Amino acid sequence: MSKRFGGRYSPDAAPDAPAPVARPHPVGARVNLLFVLPFAFAIRAFFNDPAGLALNLAAFGVLMLAAWLTREGVLAQAAYEARKVARRPAIPRKIFASVLTGAGLGLAAVTGGVAAALIFAILGAVLHFGAFGPDPLRDKGMEGIDTFQSDRAARALEEAETYLSEMSSSIRRSNDRALVQRVETFGANIRQLFRVIENDPRRLNTARRYLGIYLIGARDATVKFADLYARSRDDGARAEYETLLDDLESRFALRREALLADDRTELDIEIEVLRERLEREGLRPSA
């Protein structure tokens, strides 16, 4: 029996989600430099008396901790700014890093006197704060959103991210660079739906099956396909797998558009269509 083509290039296929815009990594040269500079104190320590050795090694340790906190704070702020709805970081890492930078420089300068240590400590803290700024100190876009709902959505999205990560790990067993890239692109497009739910956690209920049953089905299909393709290099299985990814991708795009339009009728129809597709493929997980 002939089978209607339903891939991304079919006439009635849903439009692909916009390609994600490449952004520079938030951890740049300034942050990386913070991990290099403390080694000057580690080297200097071995050319001092025992007291100087201890002070310089202590300064090295404190400054490395400050560098790590700075990096984590920069990453946390980047994640905060990338979302319309976000909680402030639980720990003000960059502020703590400013204090520790001042403390580390003060320790290294103690041998020059208390006044010199205070000057270096204050200058170090002020310059670090001026270079990296404070952490976000307020929640963003949380007005009118129940904390329980936002926590529930965060847990569901974290679980969905694990399914995408497992897909990426599994497809690497196929030893096919094009397939690895295809799954990465699939994950980037699927995360467009994640952002919609992050921006409005109240939409979680209408998308929960997409984040659960359909991503579980995609993960299980990827595991089975990767093992099969690594052994047999079956082009037919590859074509079917890529068609499944295309189908899922287009359905997730439709779901995202339906959520944005708040069209519950279209949403329910698309859920049923995709459920039938997964059942035909034998990918629906057992209860």
Output 111 or 278, whichever has higher pLDDT.
111
Q: At residue 12, does pLDDT exceed 60?
A: no
Question: What are the two backbone dihedrals, phi and then psi, of residue 158, each rounded to the nearest 5 degrees?
Answer: -65, -40
CA-based nearest residue to 91, from 120, 70, 63? 70
Residues 143-155 have a mean pLDDT of 69
Is residue 213 packed enough to be buried (19+ CB in 10 Å), middle (13-18) or exposed (0-12)?
A: middle
pLDDT in tens, 76-131: 888 788 776 667 888 999 999 999 999 999 999 998 889 999 999 999 999 999 99
How would residue 42 be classed by pLDDT, with cut points 50, 70 and 90? very high
pLDDT band at 145 (very low <50, low <70, confident <90, very high): low
Q: What are the backbone angles phi and psi of residue 3, rounded to the nearest 5°?
A: -120, 130
Q: Note the pLDDT of residue 105.
A: 94
Q: How many helices (H) and strands (E) would you count in the chain?
A: 11, 0
For position 4, what pLDDT does the model report?
46
Average pLDDT (121-144) is: 85
Confidence (pLDDT) at 5? 45
For residue 263, pLDDT beyond 80: no
The percentage of residues in the chain with a pLDDT greater than 90, rounded to a whole number, is 25
Q: Looking at residue 57, what is its pLDDT?
A: 94
User: Mean pLDDT score of the chain, rounded to an integer?
Assistant: 79
Selected residue with higher pLDDT from 115 and 7: 115
pLDDT band at 21 (very low <50, low <70, confident <90, very high): very low
* Predicted pLDDT of residue 279: 73
pLDDT at 218 exceeding the cut of 80: yes
Indicate the residue type of 45.
Answer: A
Spatial separation of the C-alpha atoms in residues 81 and 135, rounded to whole Å: 11
Distance CA 60, CA 55 (A): 9
pLDDT at 63: 96
Amino acid at 276: E
Which pLDDT band holds residue 148 (cuts at 50, 70, 90)?
A: low
pTM, to two decimals: 0.57
Q: Where are the alpha helices (DSSP H) in 172-287?
A: 177-199, 204-209, 215-232, 235-261, 264-280
Here the tokens at position 25 are 């990594």
